[in-house]
Amino acid sequence: MTTPAGIPTGNRFKTALANGQPRIGLWLSLGDPYGAEMCASVGYDWLLIDGEHGPNDLRSMLFQLQSVAAYASHPVVRVVQGEVARIKQLLDIGAQTLLVPMIDTPEQAQTMVAATRYPPDGVRGEAAAIVRASRWNARSDYVRKANDEVCLLVQAETTTAIDNLEAICAVEGVDGVFIGPADLAASMGFPGNAGHPSVQAVIDDAIRRIVKSGKAAGTLTSDPDQAKHYLALGARFVAVGLDVALLMQALRARAAQFDLGTAADDAKGPY
So which residues are the catalytic ones?
Answer: 53
HSE-CB for 108 with a 13 A CA cutoff? 18
Sign (positive or negative) of CA dihedral 21, 38, 226, 97? negative
Q: Are the C-beta atoms of residues 1 and 15 closer than 8 Å to each other?
A: no
Spatial separation of the C-alpha atoms in residues 83 and 178, rounded to whole Å: 18
Give the DSSP H/E element, type plus range, for residue 150. none
HSE-CB for 64 with a 13 A CA cutoff? 33
Which SS3 state, helix, strand or coil, does residue 228 take? helix
For 59-85, give one letter per residue: b (16+ CB within 10 A) or e. ebbbbbbbbbeebebbbbbbbeebeee
